[in-house]
Amino acid sequence: MAISAQDVKRLRDLTNAGMMDCKKALTEANGDFERAREILKERGQVIAAKRADRVASDGLAIGKLSADKKLGVAIILNSETDFVAKNDKFVALANEIIDLALSSKPADLEALKAMQLGNATVAERVNELTGIIGEKIDLSAYDKVEAEYVSLYIHAGGKIAALVGFNKAVDERIGKDIAIQVATMSPVAVSPEAVPQSVIESEKATAIEKTKLDQCNKAVEAALKKAGYNLYIAENEEHLNEGIMKGNITAEQADDIRRIKKEVAEQKAANMPEQMVQNIVKGRIEKFLKESTLTGQDFVMAEEGQPMSVGAFLAKVDKDLKPVALVRLALGN
């Protein structure tokens, strides 16, 4: 049967698919609109499956606040290229999803994907767009913050979305400055007290390992210097072989360097004072908590010549003002 331009336009308005795709689907469906829509959906699923192993690392990180500023939501809708991330259909779907998240407050990403958005679920709409655009599209992240007051900042035109919740209302400019802090400095928690114990234990294990390695390396370097060896040549096997080839050391000296490195490292590891290690680790953990928590970090928006932590800045604004939650969603994370 003949397919009119009006029929094609009607299907395009319903699905956002391309004009030629709509015409082909209508022709295949003999003018049946519902069947044509199913055909377009199936094609989208096939294309999505074919591109499932592709990396979708570009896209948009966006957020939105409720009218009363007590709720903020953020999502990441990924694409394979920056070009698609600027596509009107891509941006429109991202905005539809963020509006749905704000109005419905789904518990998590999977709940958001399962929600109805128009005539399909969010996950189905994402697959449909993959079919229309021909590039992998993926809703990869969603989170929300609920508090007495929530601030939002979108960095670099949609590369990072940051939300911060406060225990009380705050000036909009100040709230945005703290959200900028979250976007640029990526704190793991609002305060040292809020850092999960599992994170601290992981950092502690890393710090212990690094401390012991550093102490062994220092002992080895001291022994090599005492023996009169060049530290650059002794650094690794590549440098040792280079030193032999250039005539800077003999093969016997290279073997002696290897012996010193092995024996000294083993001796130092076996006789390392535990209290010394714990003292160094304690300092490293304190440094981590300062640099990796919002209130402990140096405030990036502080006035020149007046450095202070975020915690000190907020106390200066209002002694009772505190951040209670944060979210940071970033492309490529």
- pLDDT number for residue 147: 98
The answer to whether 164 and 63 are in contact (CB under 8 A) is no
Write down the pLDDT at residue 18.
66
Task: Tell me the mean pLDDT in the region 3-24.
Answer: 73
Q: What is the pTM of this model?
A: 0.75
Q: Which domains does the chain have, with CATH numbers?
A: 5-50 (1.10.8.10), 54-146 (3.30.479.20), 150-195+298-333 (3.30.479.20), 213-291 (no CATH)
And the tokens for 194?
């809020």
Cα separation, 101 vs 57, in Å, equals: 22
The pLDDT score that the predictor gives to residue 28 is 81
pLDDT classification of 48: cutoffs 50, 70, 90: very low
Per-residue pLDDT at 233: 94
pLDDT, tens only, 295-319:
999 999 998 888 999 999 999 999 9
Q: What pLDDT is attached to residue 46?
A: 44
Tokens 């991202």 belong to residue: 94
* Confidence label for 42 from pLDDT (cuts 50, 70 and 90): low
pLDDT in the model for residue 135: 86
Q: What is the pLDDT of residue 53?
A: 54
HEC string for 13-79: HHHCCCHHHHHHHHHHCCCCHHHHHHHHHHHHHHHHHHCCCCCCCEEEEEEEECCCCCEEEEEEEEE
pLDDT value of position 9: 79
The answer, yes or no, to whether residue 49 has pLDDT greater than 70, is no
Length reported for the chain: 333
Pick from 10-14, 39-43, 132-136: least confident: 39-43
User: What confidence score (pLDDT) does residue 45 get?
Assistant: 47
Which of the residue ranges 47-51, 62-66, 111-115, 143-147 would you say has the lowest mean pLDDT? 47-51
Average pLDDT over residues 223-247: 95
pLDDT tens readout for residues 183-229: 999 999 999 999 999 999 999 999 999 999 999 999 999 999 999 99
Over residues 251-274, the pLDDT tens digits come to 999 999 999 999 999 999 999 999
Phi/psi for 228 (5° steps) reads 85, 20
Mean pLDDT score of the chain: 90
